[in-house]
Amino acid sequence: MSDDPIFSTGRVAVITGAASGIGLAAAKHCAAAGMTVVMADISDALDAAAAEVAAIGGVAEHHALDVSDFAAVQALAQDVFARHGEVALLMNNAGTSFRSQPFDGLDAWRQTLEVNLWGIVHGVQAFTQPMLDQGRPGRIVNTGSKQGITNPPGDLAYNVSKSAVKTLTEGLQHALRNIEGGQVTAHLLIPGFTYTGLIRRFAAEKPAGAWTPEQVVEAMVEALAAGDFFILCPDNETTPEMDAKRVRWGAEDLAGNRPPLSRWHPDFAEAFADWMRG
């Protein structure tokens, strides 16, 4: 039997966006560890995904819900705690993207923020207090994105939602670590380029540069065991060193009074290339 405090037989995982991609891979990992896996998703693919997970082991439950509906997320939390009495792992992972523009596409902005930001706020609001009250260790993993840190142009509402998730999760972990005797910690999962449903919309086959969702979950499990807050995943084209340089370059825009997003500014193209080589 595993001595991992989270991924162990009989403990409970609640995963949103569990019908596909990273959420589904996480559900499979939890099932293989003998956990009860509560899979929540808005997609019709949820039933088939839950059947796949149930075939692995543990117990797989599926709940059709929209994470942007707080009443539905609250009802899920009440149901899970009433029946199971605890949650070891909450993965606020459901996400969506539309190629939104800075001053166009108000509907895309609202939909993106409703799911990617409010969906996570809802999960945190509904689950955190009962997880603290259960008196057993718990982990809250919120799925962010490098796009919320380095802000590449192309889908601004997505970047805004994911940078807000970073700020939210940092603040959540600060609050949790100040609770005396608290056994719940929060973590920011930052996948790299990962071949999932979000990417399948643009690429019929896995691009060589992408990781699989299983690789992301493996990195997440290792990072949680190490107690890391930031779970910054590389991929087959971006090394941890490249990520670190890109993050530092972005921070220097503000600290060094450069134009925003200077990484994509023609006047800084050479300096950025030198920085990445250096």
Ligand X SMILES: NC(=O)c1ccc[n+]([C@@H]2O[C@H](COP(=O)([O-])OP(=O)(O)OC[C@H]3O[C@@H](n4cnc5c(N)ncnc54)[C@H](O)[C@@H]3O)[C@@H](O)[C@H]2O)c1
Q: Are 183 and 137 in contact (CB under 8 A)?
A: yes
Binding positions for ligand X, 216-275, rule CB under 6 A = none
By CB under 6 A, which span of 14-22, 128-136, 222-230, 251-259 interacts with ligand X? Answer: 14-22
Site residue total, ligand X (CB under 6 A): 29
Binders in 195-214 for ligand X, by CB under 6 A: 196-199, 213
8-state DSSP, 185: E
Q: Are strands 59-64 and 36-41 parallel, antiparallel or unpaired?
A: parallel
Pick the piece of the chain touching ligand X (CB under 6 A) from 31-39, 62-70, 75-83, 101-109.
62-70
CB 155 within 8 A of CB 266: no
Q: Is 22 in the site for ligand X (CB under 6 A)?
A: yes
3-state DSSP assignment of residue 211: strand
As to burial, measured by CB atoms within 10 angstroms (0-12 exposed, 13-18 middle, 19+ buried), residue 222 is: exposed
Sole window of 64-72, 79-87, 257-265, 269-277 interacting with ligand X (rule: CB under 6 A): 64-72
151, 189, 223, 259 from 228: Cα distances, Å: 23, 10, 5, 32
Name the segment binding ligand X (CB under 6 A); options: 2-10, 15-23, 223-231, 268-276.
15-23
Instruction: Give whichever of 6 and 25 is closer to ligand X, judged by the CB atom.
Output: 25
Question: Which token pair is 41?
Answer: 């998703």
The site map against ligand X for 147-176 (x = CB under 6 A) is ------------------------------
Has 195 been annotated as catalytic? no
Distance CA 206, CA 208 (A): 6
| Helix (H) or strand (E) segment spanning residue 53 | helix 46-56
Told to check if 142 binds ligand X by CB under 6 A, we report no
Residue type present at position 233: C
Q: Is 123 an interacting residue with respect to ligand X (CB under 6 A)?
A: no
What is the Cα–Cα distance from 209 to 85, expressed in whole angstroms?
42
Binding residue for ligand X (CB under 6 A) from 68, 128, 159, 169?
Answer: 68
Of residues 109, 158, 195, 249, which has the active-site annotation? 158
Minimum CB–partner distance for residue 145 and ligand X (Å): 4
x/- string (CB under 6 A) for ligand X, residues 98-117? -----------------x--
Q: How far is the CB of 56 from ligand X (least distance, A)?
A: 18
Q: In sequence order, what are the beta bridge partners of 63?
A: 40
For residue 21, what are its two tokens? 């991609």
Give me Rg for the CA atoms of the chain.
19
Q: Which residues bind ligand X (CB under 6 A)?
A: 16-17, 19-23, 41-43, 66-68, 93-96, 115, 119, 143, 145, 191, 193-194, 196-199, 213
Q: Which positions are annotated as active-site residues?
A: 158
